[in-house]
Chains A and B, each alone.
Chain A
């Protein structure tokens, strides 16, 4: 690279950096214009419940949603189940010393008035042993069991992989760290 080329490359790098500084830091996932169902029971609300369609032959899937606790007391999510899958657990993905690992979460406390996001790369509902092949546009039921006895039935929409946004301006479920 000859010396007089260098400033030009630097200028274009600066221009690129300037351009990128102005760009949005959020990935944009296509929104199909679906209005995902809100489910509610005893003041506990679940929004934007989606499950990216698993690849053919893969019977494991994940479900993501936002859970808001408006019940007036702390809520304890103690179990999850679905008629569409043999086994359902709450899992948390984490990176520990450069390793990706998932661990089951036996019980999750959502303090009164707070909300929790189940999102890619962190908390998610892990669904194993799918009883049928789910395609984008399908829907299956997920029941969230709380320590109080509340059982919240959530319709989960199967979406295209990468299509995560329940509503285009809600980024709370896209935790990018």
Chain B
């Protein structure tokens, strides 16, 4: 019976992830090391705030007109799909790490409220941002063309880091974040089931 169900699961996982979620599951979870940032309401946000629930963490900057709002909308769609599978308290929280505090700090609170989506924006001192970015194996670069340039772009890594309730990185997923496929992937990942892509 278990063989049959196992086979079914394998067949269905091919069907359900036909478009394939580009994900990397870490062989060993990596503990998120200490960092000290602040959330949009000025409350401290450290590695401790990553515990007790699953987290989807991604890098961006508030002056990003295209991909950051798009990623936020996609992750919200993923959460909506997941909400059909897990109870509200088991839904992962979305955390947006704003890597451009010079421009992000003052607008972060408004930014978070602006989308009508439940997520946390965090930013702070550059050194602390860099600690977390390095920990999640991320990357960013401010593309300032001149000292007075205010409209610069920020090149940054695209992956969404998946962190478990113990505050450990367990996977990274890359765009596109098709809501249904990504929700399936995350659901299995969070339940410790095998993912066959």
Q: Could you say which interface size class chain B belongs to? A: 35 or more
Q: Does residue A177 face the partner (Cβ distance < 8 Å to B)?
A: yes
Which residues on B are within 8 Å of A, measured CB to CB?
Answer: 1-2, 5-6, 8-9, 12-13, 15-16, 19, 62-67, 69-70, 72-74, 76-77, 81, 84-85, 106-107, 110-111, 114-117, 139, 150-151, 153, 155-159, 174-176, 178-181, 183-184, 187-188, 191, 193
**A residues neighboring B (CB under 8 Å):** 6-7, 9-11, 13-14, 16-21, 23-25, 27-29, 52-62, 87, 91, 93, 95, 98-102, 120-121, 124, 126-129, 160-162, 176-177
A23 / chain B contacts, CB cutoff of 8 Å? 81, 180
- CB < 8 Å neighbour of A21 from B15, B64, B107: B15
Please determine whether B107 and A57 come into contact, CB atoms closer than 8 angstroms: yes
For chain A, what secondary structure do more than half of its interface residues adopt (helix, strand, loop), or is it mixed? mixed
Asked whether A177 and B176 contact (CB < 8 A) given A58-B63, A60-B65, A102-B153, the answer is yes
Known contacts A13-B9, A27-B73, A120-B69: does B63 contact A95 (CB below 8 Å)? no
Taking CB atoms, residues of chain B closer than 8 Å to A14 are 5, 8-9, 12
**A62, B65: Cβ atoms closer than 8 Å:** yes
Do A100 and B155 touch across chains, with their CB atoms under 8 A apart? yes
Chain A minimum-CB-distance residue to B1:
A7
List, in ascending order, chain A residues with CB within 8 A of B1's CB: 7
